[in-house]
Amino acid sequence: MLRIKKLGVILRPTRLAFESKCVFNPGIYQDGNTVHMIYRALDDNYVSTLGYARFEGPTKLVERFSKPLYTPKFKYESHGMEDPCIVKIDDTIYMTYVAHDGVNALIAYMYGDDILNLKRGGIISPLISYHKAAKLFDETQLKDDYYMFGAYYEKYGDKNIYVWEKDGVLFPEMINKRYALLHRILPDVQLIKFDDFKQLKNTKYWEEHIRHLADHVVLEGDFNFQNRHIGAGAPPIKTKDGWILINHAVQKKNSGRIYRATAALLDLNNPQKVIARLPYPLFSPEEDYELEGHVNNVVFPTGISIFNNQAYIYYGTSDSYVAVTSVDIDELREELLKNKV
């Protein structure tokens, strides 16, 4: 049985206006013993900005900015910047995040060599309406849920709403000389590979991807605790046996949704290939701070640091706080290998 150690809440809201409501879903960039955290901060108007905190070791807070590090500048992010995810590939830091304009939720990115001064790269999601996407879905073999989510967002959002794209997670190195991005067109996790970020700004590139979307699905919600949808999570961890992906899974009940953490093992050279999956949650909402908050029953992993072969998993709890859970990487890898697909 895996030994999971919950270390508790390490970041809470403050009286500062930009983070008075909630702080959660952080991106993590580790530089030696230093852990840089860029977290989602919510104000009383429900607009998200990105705050900054610095830790020595996995949990010792040594610095926290009194103002947001990054705030909305463009229309595509005017209603919030959410859920950052950070990797370093070669000499460049990349941070993907969800950009919200009040109607659409899309993946955007920033890049640079200084975590405190990243440049905006813009939207890297398909600017394709659900109406148009449904026609592309018809050309591939997809389950009804894809159409149902499209109808849901058209009904409660806008008839011209773009395909909602969240959970954009880059692999932390090039794979076969190409970038690899996990993304999530509901309800599954897909993978898109590309040579240059400019390709992700090309609608034709995305149309071709969606036209064959079934071929790009990495993970489906195969277990009951994943029966609504799944999403990517934290950047994958490279091991000798494959990439460990720690991600979230959502179960739907009449009483509400439950967000849990789970894990999968992906092939090193072809992460489209799933080697193994945990058939049960890695961890679930159990503590008070996970069960009750702005949104109840949520653990949402988004970042990882590694110390002494321990993966410290940073996650949002009940859309209210940032907490940490740790697990031994070798133990997790071995447990995954017991559950090959």
Query: Could you write out the DSSP letters of every residue in 113-141?
Result: S-TTSPEEEEE-S---BHHHHHHHHTTS-
The pLDDT value given to residue 159: 82
CA 244 to CA 264: how far, in whole Å? 6
The pLDDT value given to residue 83: 98
- Site of tokens 């405190």: 116
The pLDDT value given to residue 183: 98
CA 307 to CA 143: how far, in whole Å? 41
Instruction: List phi, psi (to 5°) of 133.
Output: -60, -35
* Segments in the chain forming alpha helices (H): 130-137, 144-156, 203-211, 213-216, 288-291, 329-337
Query: Among 91, 210, 218, 209, which Cα is nearest to 167's?
Result: 218
The pLDDT value given to residue 12: 99
CATH of domain 5-337: 2.115.10.20
Cα 157 to Cα 78, 145, 186, distances in angstroms: 16, 17, 15
Query: Among 141, 189, 197, 147, which Cα is nearest to 165's?
Result: 189
61 sits in which H/E element: strand 60-64
Identify the three-state secondary structure at position 282.
Answer: coil
Q: Domain-by-domain residue ranges, the chain?
A: 5-337
CA 103 to CA 79: how far, in whole Å? 9
Q: Quote the pTM value.
A: 0.97
- Tens-place pLDDT, residues 125-168: 999 999 999 999 999 999 999 999 999 999 888 788 999 999 99
pLDDT, mean of each 10-residue run, the chain (341 residues): 95 98 99 99 97 99 99 98 99 99 97 99 97 94 95 86 96 98 98 98 97 98 98 98 99 97 99 98 98 98 99 99 99 98 97
The pLDDT value given to residue 321: 99
Rg (CA), the chain: 19
The pLDDT value given to residue 158: 79
Cα 166 to Cα 183, 197, 248, distances in angstroms: 7, 17, 12
- Tens-place pLDDT, residues 232-246: 999 999 999 999 999
